[in-house]
Amino acid sequence: AKLQGRDRFCFFSSDFARRASEHFSIERHLRRAIEAGELQLYYQPQVSLADGRLVGAEALLRWQSAELGWVTPDRMIPVAESSGLILPIGQWVLATSCDLIRRHQAATGDWLRIAVNVSVRQFQTAGFVETVRQILQQSEVPPACLELELTESLMMNDVAQAIPLLEELHALGVALALDDFGTGYTSLAYLKRFPVDRVKLDRAFVTDIHRSRSDAALAQSLVAFASAMEFELVAEGIEEAVQHERLRQIGFAYGQGYLFAKPLPEAEFLALVRAGQ
Ligand code: C2E
Ligand code: CA
Ligand code: CA
Ligand code: CA
């Protein structure tokens, strides 16, 4: 038993050291990633559950580092947040998304709707609303084409500070979505206070929606609440036709997931958009 305890200690401490060194290695390489052109946005289609029609897309960061290979957002975003690199990266994500919207409009006459993830640190940095306003203005994109995805922890961190900021963003005309709903501590009562246009039900509640009565009940109460409060619902992480079918029965209007499409490189995403028109 003693030996086992020591082994376990060694395991944890070396794991900690490994993670700390990975953190600094990612940070060092991430500093140069933007200029090196290593960051890309992939776009995952969002569809209407009634007819499969494409209604927009979520922009998702992808990083292929020359030295580290592919680094997933789950490894990169925490480092970007703690180092402050999320600020230039977040601006790059907004500007790149708006640039795509603009280029697609110039080529086809149609406006895309792109949803962009915003991190807590970005949201809480003074001047965020102004940054969004400037990027929209410079790219000449109608604000309604841009949706900002915010998590509940971001809103709950400091509710008194968050609500006026959300209202300023709304006043700009951008759409606001509450991401990962159900995973945090937000109750329906809180939703009432946030001026959001869309709520994204987290994949954790979608996976078993066709066989879990409690998950279906949560989704059902969300549908009733959404129609009273006039926000739209998007289900995340739909992988199977049975989940799609159940969500549609329950009354979800929109969905996103591997069943419809994975996050795609820009050219593939645009080809899909054109095929649907
Ligand atoms: P998220 O915002 O909840 O994004 C959804 C994640 O689920 C994405 O992972 C997406 O690729 C994945 N996904 C989509 N459909 C399915 C499905 O059917 N099944 C499964 N298993 N997964 C699916 P990804 O791209 O690895 O991103 C992970 C997280 O990293 C995101 O979660 C978001 O929190 C963060 N992130 C990604 N891009 C950005 C960004 O540009 N800025 C910020 N601040 N965060 C980002
Ligand atoms: Ca998201
Ligand atoms: Ca999500
Ligand atoms: Ca998430």
Choose one of 38, 43, 117 to mutate for the ligand 1 pocket test, by most ligand atoms within 8 angstroms of C-beta.
Answer: 117
Look at residue 162 and tell me whether its pLDDT is greater than 80: yes
Look at residue 8 and tell me whether its pLDDT is greater than 70: no
Q: If you measure from the C-alpha of residue 4 to the centroid of ligand 1, how many angstroms do you get, rounded to a whole number? A: 38
Query: 266 has which bridge partners?
Result: none
Q: If you measure from the C-alpha of residue 236 to the centroid of ligand 3, how many angstroms do you get, rounded to a whole number? A: 6
Can you tell me whether residue 69 is helix, strand or coil?
A: strand
Rounded distance between C-alpha atoms, residue 117 and residue 186, angstroms:
19
Interface pTM (ipTM) of the complex?
Answer: 0.98
Return the exposure string of 96-105: e unless at least 16 CB atoms fall within 10 Å of the residue's CB, then b: bbbebbbebb
For strand 264-265 and strand 39-48, is the pairing parallel, antiparallel, or unpaired? antiparallel
Q: Which two tokens stand for residue 44?
A: 């995952």
Look at residue 52 and tell me whether its pLDDT is greater than 60: yes
The mean per-residue pLDDT over the stretch 74-94 comes to 96
Can you tell me whether residue 84 is helix, strand or coil?
A: coil
Is this model's pTM higher than 0.90 or not? yes
Q: If you measure from the C-alpha of residue 256 to the centroid of ligand 2, how many angstroms do you get, rounded to a whole number? A: 10
Residues near ligand 1 (Cβ within 6 A): 44, 60-61, 72-74, 77, 93, 117, 119, 179-180, 203, 237-239, 256-258, 263
- C-beta separation of 71 from 61 below 8 A: no
Nearest-CA residue for ligand 1 atom 35 is 73
What is the DSSP secondary structure assignment for residue 133, as one 8-state letter?
A: H
- Tell me which H or E stretch contains 60: strand 54-65
Q: If you measure from the C-alpha of residue 202 to the centroid of ligand 3, how many angstroms do you get, rounded to a whole number? A: 6
Q: If you measure from the C-alpha of residue 1 to the centroid of ligand 3, how many angstroms do you get, rounded to a whole number? A: 42
Nearest-CA residue for ligand 1 atom 24 is 73
Q: If you measure from the C-alpha of residue 236 to the centroid of ligand 2, how many angstroms do you get, rounded to a whole number? A: 9
Query: Quick one: what percent of the chain has pLDDT higher than 70?
Result: 94
pLDDT at residue 1, rounded to an integer = 45
pLDDT at residue 10, rounded to an integer = 55
CA 119 to chain centre: 9
Q: What is the per-residue pLDDT across 217-260, written as a single tens digit (0 to 9) for each? A: 999 999 999 999 999 999 999 999 999 999 999 999 999 999 99
Q: Which atom of ligand 1 is nearest to the CA of 122?
A: 44
Rounded distance between C-alpha atoms, residue 190 and residue 23, angstroms:
35
pLDDT at residue 235, rounded to an integer = 98
Choose one of 60, 198, 206 to mutate for the ligand 1 pocket test, by most ligand atoms within 8 angstroms of C-beta.
Answer: 60
pLDDT at residue 192, rounded to an integer = 82
